[in-house]
Amino acid sequence: MMSIKNLHVKFATPFGSLEAVRGASLDIPAGMSVGVVGESGSGKTVMCRASMGLLSGSNVQREGTVVFDGKELTAMTRDQVRNEFGTGMAMIFQDPMTALNPVRRIGTQISESLRVRLGVDKKAAMARSAELLSLVHIPDPEAMLRKFPYQLSGGMRQRVMIAIAISCNPKLLFADEPTTALDVTVQAQILQLLSDLRRDLKMSMVLITHDLGVVANHTDFVAVMYAGEIVEQAPTTELFANMKMPYTEALLNSIPNIEMKSGARLKVIEGRLPSPVDRPKGCGFVTRCIYAQQKCHDEHPPLVDAGNGHLYRCWFPLGHTIARKQ
């Protein structure tokens, strides 16, 4: 459905050129769900927004190729790309309170895309908006159409954002941290709703998150990003059964589990992401990796193909026979 090849995204800043995405390549198959995982600042949202053509301005430089549904988006004008929004691809943005217009009623915001993209008249658009709210499991949808965003809970606002995103039956849906700031029960409901909609509407979906636990049960394929690069990618079951990248292991270990004793300290990834304007010569994860060797400091690792669609970027992958620091 979408093929991203060697994507670079740079921002001009007073401190120099900030390279937010470095040579990312990712294929999103039709009808499948792909997870893009990484901590804040890893470049996952920038990669997806750049792929959709949502980044613009004199300080933004994008290089590489993005092909969507057989069309090369990177060779199209901004207006031509915009024509793909809604019916071709759509995005659920991270914060529904800021993504929704606070002074417009919910019905107006959902029906707008139906009227603009599909040419539906006002009455039919409102009727379809109520159907969409029912589809995302919002009770009394007719009453909801008349409400403003501030009158809704976080979970309800997120469901409204999903209704807007799927209103024109897109072929590809990007969900950017769709469970941010929601309690655990509502998170599970939203993730299950997205999985059900993807299956029922036969969409492709990209689930952007910092939590490996989120993608475990809701994706077919996972790409792990660190410091603007994809450092590991594999089918979901393969990744969890045979992860290679120490960063992926560190992300997994940082997730709390039910077997932990009350009051136990959570495992953290020590240190911080390298500066995007002053990256280390070797591996980007080298200063935080407990397994780092001298070669990791001196040389930047390429992506290695482990077979079965499993790629990783590490000189000494997990399971390697070299002695490791404990």
Same domain (yes/no): 110, 207: no
Question: How many structural domains does the chain have?
Answer: 2
Q: Give the tens place of pLDDT for each residue, 69-107.
A: 999 998 888 888 888 888 899 998 887 778 889 999 999
pLDDT tens digits along 55-69: 877 888 999 999 999
Residues 301, 235: one domain?
A: yes
Domain of residue 55, CATH code:
3.40.50.300
Residue 161 domain boundaries: 99-167
Same domain, 52 and 71: yes
199 & 259 share domain: yes
Is residue 40 very low, low, confident or very high in pLDDT (cuts 50, 70, 90)?
confident
pLDDT of residue 280: 78
Q: Looking at residues 264-280, what average pLDDT do you find?
A: 81
Does residue 201 share a domain with residue 123?
Answer: no
Residues 37 and 141 in one domain: no
Q: Is residue 93 part of a domain?
A: no
- Residue where a domain terminates, one of 167, 184, 201: 167
Residue 326 belongs to a domain: no
Backbone angles phi, psi at 22, to 5 degrees: -125, 95
Residue 325 covered by a domain: no
Residue 156 confidence (pLDDT) above 80: yes
Q: Are residues 277 and 128 in the same domain?
A: no
Does position 326 have pLDDT exceeding 70, yes or no?
Answer: no
State whether 60 and 200 are in the same domain.
Answer: yes
Confidence (pLDDT) at 323: 41
